[in-house]
Amino acid sequence: MELLRFFTAGNVDDGKSTLIGRLLYDSKSISTDILETLTKQSKSTGVDADIDLALLTDGLRAEREQGITIDVAYKYFTTDKRKFIIADTPGHVQYTRNMFTGASNTDLAIILVDARHGITEQTRRHSIISNIVGIPHVLVCINKMDLVNYDEKVYEQIKQDYEKFAQSLNLKKVSYIPTSALTGDNVVKHSENLPWYEGPSLFEFLENVEIEQDFKTQEARFQVQYVIRPQTEELHDYRGYAGSVLSGSFKKGDKIAVHPVDLITTIEKIEKFGKEVDEAHAGEPIIIHVSDEIDISRGTTFVPLNESIQSEKTFEAIVCWMDNKSFQPGQKLLLQQNSFRTKAVIKEVDNKINIYNYTTEESDGTLHLNDFCKVTIKTAETISFDEYANNRKTGSFILINENTNNTVAAGVIN
């Protein structure tokens, strides 16, 4: 069954958590025991309704007490057509790093706009971040239509304002839906209060939206996670390379280039769940055997011979600084790209990206919490990668403080 990953973002109190709660509640995707628990908890929140739908995603006690979303809350549900993973991300500007985390590797961004307030700085910020992380499809959900008397003119004005702003971002696809999460209008079923709207409800949209970022159709990439050598009497000569297919597919007999050492060999055998198979596809955990005894270690990347990948020690990227402590020039870092890890330094902070208007500003060489900057990174070992726009699996990475082992930044290669 096809999987759709999406995240929600918006201003504080735009109703993100309530929208997801309404979506799960009205689509009957909540189990009876959870409903009973939430009904009891809702009595202490002071809401007028029998159940506070926001509690379905605001999982942390501190969030419930404050009535806000701080961390990224993930929910999973299934319909007859699809499986879904939802990331409910914070609206506060100080939690930008959390939103960046929730947005990575998703297929769709749902950006909520309060019908009373229209496009805000937060709307622009969330849209720009969606653009930076390459979200294939953006849905602008114009919420709280009940508070503007379901006025079509309000909806059309917000749609026009967003389209004007989005032109500068070059977003791939943008859609619009008017809703009221609190009352359920147009969330799962069409609302009689919106007779002028002829498009799908949010639920219908999610079940049918085309998922463009299909790693099965991309160029094939496999990265070694473990080198398996049992060296037992039964498996004396066994040497397998275990990992997941990052994108595309591999077949037995394929000629492959081994990067970054740039050696050529042939896939002799592919194992999946202990059985030999002829072919493996994106997302599948497999063990590959090759025909030649060559130096292959953890983090090595396999690529079909007729496809190319970049292998460099210096590259440019956009990073989001996630550490409370600011970047220190010369700071010793570790770069992790899937299972590949090497020492690295940020050689240059080229410029800072203003995430409210998408302009670049001159850099003073610093990186602070939630900053987005274009940087030049130098690694100790050669890293094999694609540009993020072409392959999100091989074009993304994290930076780790070598001393504390804390993740200090996440980046995309451009």
Q: What percent of the chain has pLDDT over 70?
A: 83
| Short-list 284, 385, 386, 292, CA closest to 342 | 385
CA end-to-end span of the chain, whole Å?
32
The pairing of strands 83-88 and 3-9 is parallel
**318-334 pLDDT, tens digit each:** 999 988 899 988 899 99
Q: Are 340 and 380 in contact (CB under 8 A)?
A: no
Q: Which domains does the chain have, with CATH numbers?
A: 3-208 (3.40.50.300), 221-304 (2.40.30.10), 310-413 (2.40.30.10)
The whole-number pLDDT of residue 95 equals: 55
The tokens describing 167, both together, are 């032109």
> Chain-centre distance of CA 397, in angstroms?
12
The residues near 137 (Cβ < 8 Å, ≥ 6 apart) are 107, 108, 109, 172, 173, 174, 175, 209, 210, 212
The whole-number pLDDT of residue 57 equals: 56
Return d(Cα 406, Cα 70) in angstroms, integer: 19
The tokens describing 88, both together, are 């409910």
Q: Are 240 and 287 in contact (CB under 8 A)?
A: yes
**72-117 pLDDT, tens digit each:** 567 788 888 889 888 776 655 555 666 676 677 788 999 999 999 9
User: Above 90 in pLDDT, residue 375?
Assistant: yes
**CA within 13 Å, CB half, 248:** 16
The whole-number pLDDT of residue 85 equals: 87
The whole-number pLDDT of residue 314 equals: 97
| Short-list 187, 252, 188, 207, CA closest to 83 | 207
The residues near 347 (Cβ < 8 Å, ≥ 6 apart) are 314, 375, 376, 377, 378
Average pLDDT of 219-237? Answer: 83
The whole-number pLDDT of residue 211 equals: 75
The whole-number pLDDT of residue 130 equals: 86
User: Above 90 in pLDDT, residue 19?
Assistant: no
The whole-number pLDDT of residue 337 equals: 96
**142-193 pLDDT, tens digit each:** 999 999 999 999 999 999 999 998 888 878 789 999 999 888 899 998 999 9
The whole-number pLDDT of residue 131 equals: 87
User: Above 80 in pLDDT, residue 66?
Assistant: no
The whole-number pLDDT of residue 283 equals: 87
Report the chain's mean pLDDT, rounded to a whole number: 85
Average pLDDT of 2-17? Answer: 80
The whole-number pLDDT of residue 70 equals: 41
Average pLDDT of 278-301? Answer: 93
Indicate the DSSP class of residue 17: H
User: Above 70 in pLDDT, residue 340?
Assistant: yes
Higher pLDDT, 182 or 383: 383
The tokens describing 116, both together, are 């009373």
Residue 356 — very low, low, confident or very high, per pLDDT cuts 50/70/90? confident
Return d(Cα 177, Cα 166) in angstroms, integer: 16
Strand partners, 152: none
User: Above 70 in pLDDT, residue 228?
Assistant: yes
Average pLDDT of 240-266? Answer: 94
Task: State the burial class of residue 67 (Cβ atoms within 10 Å of its Cβ: 0-12, 13-18, 19+).
Answer: middle
Strand partners, 173: 137
The residues near 78 (Cβ < 8 Å, ≥ 6 apart) are 1, 29, 84
User: Above 80 in pLDDT, residue 63?
Assistant: no
User: Above 70 in pLDDT, residue 386?
Assistant: yes
Q: Are 140 and 113 in contact (CB under 8 A)?
A: yes
Return d(Cα 185, Cα 144) in angstroms, integer: 9
Strand partners, 259: 301
Q: Are 141 and 209 in contact (CB under 8 A)?
A: no
The whole-number pLDDT of residue 359 equals: 87
User: Above 90 in pLDDT, residue 231?
Assistant: no
The whole-number pLDDT of residue 36 equals: 60
The whole-number pLDDT of residue 65 equals: 42
